[in-house]
Each structure stands twice: as structure tokens, then as C-alpha cells.
Amino acid sequence: MTTMTDTSNAARFREFKMPDVGEGLTEAEILKWFVQPGDTVSDGQVVCEVETAKAAVELPIPFDGVVHELRFPEGTTVDVGQVIIAVDVAPGSGDTAPAAVAAPVAEPEPSEPEAPKGRQPVLVGYGVAESSTKRRARKGTSAAVPAAAAAAIQGEMNGHGAVVPESRPLAKPPVRKLAKDLGIDLATVVPTGEGGIITREDVHAAATPVPAQAPAPIAAAPVAAEAQAPAPAVVTTVGARETRIPVKGVRKAIAQAMVGSAFTAPHVTEFVTVDVTRTMKLVAELKEDKEMAGVRVNPLLLIAKALLVAIRRNPEVNAAWDEANQEIVQKHYVNLGIAAATPRGLIVPNIKDAHEQTLPQLAASLGELVSTAREGKTSPAAMAGGTVTITNVGVFGVDTGTPILNPGESAILAVGAIKLQPWVHKGKVKPRQVTTLALSFDHRLVDGELGSKVLADVAAILEQPKRLITWA
């Protein structure tokens, strides 16, 4: 029976859930809380910083009040839709805590505060689907479980619940084929899909080598352990000879993406060594040009422009493979990705519609992209929708590499270090500035001839940068 006090509490205490950040992300780690219980918060105030699989994001709260409870400590990975903070929106009106915060009591039907109707606070779009996740019943209740098998699987994933009898794993035919190709036994894969269905991401995660875990101590009181909030993952050291670091956040996303790309797209990598002396002279001249004032001019700028021109001359390379529909999707725009090393790992933000930008505009976009990445402020949207990528391994003094495709893209260009080397120029051996380019491409949709033409065009432009004008 719902009392007037319960109703007033539901209206007084509001809960803020982990928002849906879009781009298929389902969880985020709480990096830092900026508020504590008892602090006053206002609509739009940032209350915490979370790290998704793609970036660190600050979360603003959408209402005023006083912080009543932080549901998870820093370092905890929380699913989208879970309540992370409770706020008293009518402080001073009573001392009764909300029902959801109180200790669980056995009752026929557990009641929870009704979620606010209409648009809910999210980072991308206009809201998440209502009641997309279901909470399991509290222990001691007599509520029926509509989907026993799915609940049991979820219980095992959370470390509690009954053991699921052995049965054929739930997975769609394409996922079964992927598992077969990767040599993965579906019976060993932990499902994360709705109803205990194994997804492609689950298979890729199972294919990624994971450090062996130390055996967990036997729990003396399962009920008490269940009531505790999940402990944040920490770096563990075995003796003084090994260090174990939990795989999560950006590193986890990189691992899954690289395994998925390497085992899905047949990679071909071609190389060419080119004299870029004239390009380096042009870089020096552009640095003195008043039209380029206020923007950073470097070799990467002209390499990016050269790749854009090469794509314009060979548009078929700018495509994607649609496995579900068995189609090649040709893109009539170029979202140019730039691989960036950050303290949290490798990310690949992209410049939207880079093909439409002038050289000064492209320089400004590159500068903004790099500075945002270094500050850890790159948004998930900035890393979505890339078509081709450049990775500049030359900044580390490396001559070249065999880059792995960013998932969903057709090609990636690796740029090696630019070094002064002996080179035959106009019939004589002279010291010239030389670099090696490597182009990896998806051989399902890019034939060797097409890939070779693209790489040759980039090299030709860097050797004779006047082609940026004559070929444009």
C-alpha cells in the first residue's frame, strides 16, 4: 500500500541516472565526483566526470537541490540507466529518506519512485527509451520472474543467482559464424545482449587475450557481499616483478576495435618512399604567409591535403563494407580521422567534411582536434563517422608501419619520420628530405590497383606540391 509519505518522498527526492552517451556505448566509469552529500547543486552544474569507451565527459545535473547520496564511488563502471546520484529537491520539508535509499524490506511488491515523464537528460539526442532496463526482484519477495533463463544468466554475470543449466548459447547466425571464424566456443562467451543473447562485441571481447585473474576468496556471507557497491578496479602488483592493470575504458575499446578490424577486414599494406624536400620548403614558406597567421603549419597539414586530393581523384576508395546488407557504401564526403596518442590511450577523432575545407580551414581544424584530444575533451561524436585516417608514426622517429584500419573505414595512411638521406636527384646523389608512406586498405572493397593509385597520388603530390593546385 502506498502512503502519502511515500508519495511525498518520491516527489521530494529525484534520481539522476547514467545518461545515454550515444554511439552504442552502454557503460561508463566514474572518474571523479565534484560534489558530496550535503552540497547544494543547481540545474546545469557539473557533478561528476565519467570515462566512456571513447572519451572523458563531464555530466551536468538537470535540476536544483541538495545532494542526498552518491550511489557509486569513484572508479566504478556503471551501466547506462543506473542511478548514480540522489538529490533532495525540497530540502527542509522533512527528515524521511526516499524509499529507494532505505534498506530493502521484504514486501509483496517492491515500489520504486516513478521516473519523471518526458525528455530525460542525455548527452546525445532527446532521451533514452523508458524502462529499457529491468531490475531484479529483491531477495525475500514473492514476485514472479517472467524470464527465468535470462534472469539467471544475468545473475551469474553479477556474481549471484542460480546456476543456469547447460543449454545451447543464444546467438544470431552471423555471430555464430564470427565465433567459428575466430575459433571461439560460444559456451565460454559471457553474453551482454538483451535476454542473454551473445553479440558480436561479446565474441570480439572473448577473442582478446585477458590477463589471468587471481582466485577470488570464498564469500562467507553472499547476501552481505551482494549489498555492497562494486569496488573500483585497481592496479594490482604481484610481488615486485609484475603489474596487472584492469582493461577498461579507452584501452578496452581499442582492444576490441583492433581485434574486430584485424579479423574482419582483410588488410593489404603497400609502401612507397618519397622525396618530400619541396613539401618541406612549402611548409617553411606557408609559416611566413599572412593568410596562415594564427594557425599551425606543419608537414601533416600538407599530407592531409594530399590525401584529400588523392581521394578526389580516386573516389571509390572512400567507401565502407556493409556486411549485413552485403553492399559497398560509397561515401561522397570525407571525414578525415587523425590518430592521436593521449594519456588515456589512442583515439581517432575526425574532421567532418574535410574535403570542403580550404588549407587555412584545414589547419585550424587540425589544431583544434589535436588540442582537444590532448586535454582529454574529445567528444564521442567527434570520433564517430570517420571514413579514412592518417596516423603519424614519424613523430616517434619510426620509419613506417603496417597500420590497422579503424573499424568501418576503408583505408589508413601511416606517415614515417622525415629524414635527411642520400637521394638521386637530377642524376646526382644529394642529401634530400625523405619519408616512407604506408597505406593499409580493406581488400574486400579496395583492389590492389585502386590502393596503389591512391598511394602513388599522395606520393606524387608530396614530391611536387604544385600538384595540389593542378590536380585540384
DSSP secondary structure of 349-388 = -EETTGGG--HHHHHHHHHHHHHHHHTT---GGGGSS--E
Whole-angstrom Cα distance, residue 403 to residue 401? 6
Do 266 and 442 touch, CB atoms closer than 8 A? yes
CA 77-80-82 angle, to 5 degrees, is: 80
First to last CA, the chain: 74
pLDDT score, position 138: 40
Whole-angstrom Cα distance, residue 351 to residue 357? 10
Strand bridging mode 40-41 / 83-88? unpaired
pLDDT score, position 250: 67
Question: Tens of pLDDT along 175-229?
Answer: 777 777 777 887 788 888 777 788 878 877 787 755 444 444 433 333 333 333 4
pLDDT score, position 25: 66
Whole-angstrom Cα distance, residue 112 to residue 196? 25
Of the two residues 164 and 175, the one the predictor is more confident about is: 175
Closest CA to 462 of 323, 331, 282, 235: 282
Do 51 and 249 touch, CB atoms closer than 8 A? yes
Q: Please state which of the ranges 73-82, 231-240, 424-433, 439-448 shows the lowest mean pLDDT.
A: 231-240
Do 207 and 181 touch, CB atoms closer than 8 A? no
Of the two residues 104 and 180, the one the predictor is more confident about is: 180
pLDDT score, position 173: 62
Residue 117 has pLDDT above 60, yes or no: no
Under the banding of pLDDT at 50, 70 and 90, the label for residue 139 is: very low
Mean pLDDT of 446-455: 96
Residue 287 has pLDDT above 90, yes or no: yes
Do 208 and 259 touch, CB atoms closer than 8 A? yes
pLDDT score, position 207: 74
Assigned C-alpha cell, 283: 611548409
Q: At what angle do helices 299-313 and 448-463 cross, to 10 degrees?
A: 140
DSSP bridge partners of 244: 236
pLDDT score, position 9: 60
Under the banding of pLDDT at 50, 70 and 90, the label for residue 49 is: confident
pLDDT score, position 240: 67
Under the banding of pLDDT at 50, 70 and 90, the label for residue 129 is: very low
Q: Rounded to whole angstroms, what are the CA distances from 361 to 88, 159, 279, 350?
A: 48, 53, 19, 14
Residue 157 has pLDDT above 50, yes or no: no
Q: At what angle do helices 448-463 and 277-287 cross, to 10 degrees?
A: 60
Residue 251 has pLDDT above 80, yes or no: no
Of the two residues 216 and 430, the one the predictor is more confident about is: 430
- Give me the sign of the Cα torsion angle 434, 440, 443, 445: negative
Percent of the chain whose pLDDT exceeds 90: 42
Question: Tens of pLDDT along 436-448?
Answer: 999 999 999 999 9
Under the banding of pLDDT at 50, 70 and 90, the label for residue 313 is: very high
How does the average pLDDT of the chain come out, rounded? 77
Under the banding of pLDDT at 50, 70 and 90, the label for residue 85 is: very high
CA 79-80-84 angle, to 5 degrees, is: 80
pLDDT score, position 205: 79
Do 307 and 462 touch, CB atoms closer than 8 A? no
Residue 106 has pLDDT above 70, yes or no: no
Percent of the chain that is helix, strand, coil (3-state, to 5): 30, 25, 45
The per-residue b/e assignment along 136-148, b for 16 or more CB within 10 angstroms, e otherwise, is eeeeeeeeeeeee
Whole-angstrom Cα distance, residue 256 to residue 266? 17
Mean pLDDT of 361-373: 92
DSSP bridge partners of 358: none
Q: Please state which of the ranges 143-147, 331-335, 338-342 shows the lowest mean pLDDT.
A: 143-147
Whole-angstrom Cα distance, residue 333 to residue 354? 8
Residues known to be catalytic: 443
Residue 44 has pLDDT above 60, yes or no: yes
Classified as helix, coil or strand, 224 is helix
Query: Which amino acid is present at 219?
Result: A
Q: Is the pTM of this model over 0.85?
A: no
Whole-angstrom Cα distance, residue 131 to residue 57? 24
Mean pLDDT of 122-146: 39
Residue 360 has pLDDT above 60, yes or no: yes
The per-residue b/e assignment along 416-431, b for 16 or more CB within 10 angstroms, e otherwise, is bbbeeeebeeeeeeee
Residue 369 has pLDDT above 60, yes or no: yes
Closest CA to 232 of 50, 452, 357, 451: 50
Chain-centroid distance, C-alpha 170: 26
Classified as helix, coil or strand, 339 is coil
